[in-house]
Amino acid sequence: MEKRWHILTADKEKVALLQQSLKVHPILCKTLAQRGIETFEQAKNFFRPQLTSLHSPWLMKDMDKAVERIVLAINQNEKILIFGDYDVDGTTSVASMYQFLKKFYSNINFYIPHRYREGYGVSKAGIDFAKENSFTLIISLDCGIKSTDLIAYAKNNGIDFIVCDHHLPDAVLPPAVAILNPKQKDCDYPYKELCGCGVGFKLITALAKKFNLPPENIFENIDLLATAIAADIVPMTGENRILASHGLKKANENPNNGIKALARFSGLVKELHINNLVFMIAPRVNAAGRMDEARKAVQMFISETYEEALRYAEMLHSDNTDRKEADSSITEEALAMIVNNKEWQEKKSTVVFQPHWHKGVVGIVASRLIEHYFRPTVVLTQSGDYAGGSARSVPGFNLYEAIHACREHLLGYGGHFAAAGLTLELQQVDAFRNKFEEVVASTIHPELLIPEIVIDAEISLNDIKWPFYDILCQMEPFGPENLRPVFIARRVMNTGYSKIVKEQHIRFSLRQSNATITGIGFGLANKFDLLQQKKPIDIVFKIDESEWNGEKSLQLRVLDLRISEP
């Protein structure tokens, strides 16, 4: 699949001033300036994030009300239920809040809704559980902001709610005693991009200050918070960057038993980085809710011993193996459906449906299909008497609006710009497919159907040295709005030693002037003929560290290449 290359620019004066004060390579200064870092002080805060820079939790609207209500519950020995979503953000939030409160208050329990029986967020079954077991206060984490009717139902049954959420609020808010959400219009909290676990962390911080608890009580589960930040794909800026940075440090030095156990099942032997949390830890936690019951993810995180955590981690690892098998076989089936239908291949959207597909992986499959056919995609399966599924978008296209335009064919839908869920009657699948295609085809800009690689800067191979790479590494943790830098090098020659490996990839050996470097290009074997033309090429890449027989060297992770323009 051909890709668009978009090279970012930066104000030359700002880059020059930054270089003057930092005394580092101008390419690094350009990369920093593109991320809004323009002064020595900003660079210092970026490279050395400090916990002392975190904002006061009391700046968040309703924080005083939330703390007051929890203090009252403790003084009156009320039963408190910690309620959270079934994904990484929800389960880490619940585990963190539960462990914190459990240190000084025992009359608490936690509840994770079942993905398929109860659906996303606050559930009637969860409130009924609270009612039947005499809970009078529910603290919801990573959910609740849109549960107006259900929280009213709880209130009518004598159960108060404290909502800790980060999703965009509607015009009408639920009747909770306190709502902690920095995205509320009248909330003055300075940083708006916290994940659900981050909002819960702010409540923990305020409670710790109220009860005069030592700082270690606040930061005990900061590695779980780092995992939530990584998995929930929130911007890696401001407080998220500070918390993720210190959370990673704890994950490597003194991890939560659950993190430690999952790292073992992931086969990880070296230092944990953000991408390990995203690609090794998070999928195993999410798999619990996708394939079975997410409660065991919380039980793993709150395990008092490593041995106990290992037992739960093994269950999560097994769920993830099942998830991978389902994901792989469904993706294969869906791709075959598209390959065998010429009309579908020419469409601007993809809608596939099979009644037997596992509903826990349809969202993942939609993302996989986009890797092959870069267009808005919906994957549906049968759920009871209805069809239901997940949709994923390509960057820049508002998926929610497109699905909203098809509402006449839907029973229900929800989501945001990039992802959505929907339910419809079985006989409406074809009508929805046609309408969705009509909407996408008439509204999507043709450019959005071509994948884009955003490139930070042009460099020469001669620039790629250890001091340069060491500073690059200090830009971690990487994530949205602070992605690992991508570079372009122009008019590079193949040394003649580049070769195809494992039929799909290219092992590069490249030369530019007097500099030679090796690299790997995953899935680029179909472009090997460009190297054989013995013409200069332009390459787009990230810089990686490679280790072989105890020897470390720098190598390129090539993302794309093309013949250089004359």
What single-letter amino acid sits at 533? Q
Task: Give the mean pLDDT of 387-400.
Answer: 94
Residue type, 332: E
Query: What predicted TM-score, i.e. pTM, was given to this entire model?
Result: 0.92
Residues 535 and 542: their CA atoms lie apart, in Å, by 22
DSSP assignment letter at 556: E
Residue 51 scores a pLDDT above 90: yes
Query: In the prediction, which pLDDT does 32 show?
Result: 95
Alpha carbon of 308 to those of 253, 271, 281, 296, 303: distances in Å? 20, 23, 17, 11, 6
Task: State the DSSP string of 280-332.
Answer: IIHHHHHHHHHHS-THHHHHHHT-SSHHHHHHHHHHHHHHHHHHHHHHHHHHH
CA distances from 532 to 106, 493, 498, 519 (A): 69, 10, 9, 16
* Mean pLDDT (whole number) for 101-122: 91
Q: Domain residue spans in the chain?
A: 4-8+453-563, 57-318, 341-449
Q: Do domains 4-8+453-563 and 57-318 have the same CATH topology?
A: no
- Rounded Cα gap, residues 271 and 390, in angstroms: 34
Q: How far apart are CA 556 and CA 559, in angstroms?
A: 9
> Quick check: 273 pLDDT over 90?
no
Interatomic CA distance for residues 311 and 296, integer angstroms: 10
Number of other CB atoms surrounding residue 461 within 10 Å = 18
pLDDT in tens, 124-148: 999 999 999 999 999 999 999 989 9
pLDDT at 393: 95
Residue with tokens 């007097």: 514
pLDDT band at 279 (very low <50, low <70, confident <90, very high): confident
CATH 3.90.1640.30 is held by the domain 57-318: yes
Residue at 255: amino acid letter? P
**The listed CATH number (3.40.50.620, 3.40.1280.10, 3.10.310.30, 3.40.50.720) that belongs to domain 341-449:** 3.10.310.30
Q: Which CATH number fits domain 4-8+453-563: 1.10.1050.10, 1.10.287.610, 2.40.50.460, 2.160.20.10?
A: 2.40.50.460
Model pLDDT, residue 553: 93
Work out whether the CA dihedral 424, 428, 430, 431 comes out positive or negative: negative
pLDDT in tens, 433-474: 999 999 999 999 999 999 999 999 999 999 999 999 999 999
- pLDDT-above-70 percentage for the chain: 100
Per-residue pLDDT tens for 470-511? 999 999 999 999 999 999 999 999 999 999 999 999 999 999
Task: Give the sign of the dihedral formed by CA 334, CA 335, CA 339, CA 345.
Answer: positive
- Segment 514-523 mean pLDDT: 95
Q: What is the pLDDT of residue 269?
A: 67
What percentage of the chain reaches a pLDDT higher than 90? Answer: 87
pLDDT digits (tens, 9 = 90+) for 6-36: 999 999 999 999 999 999 999 999 999 999 9
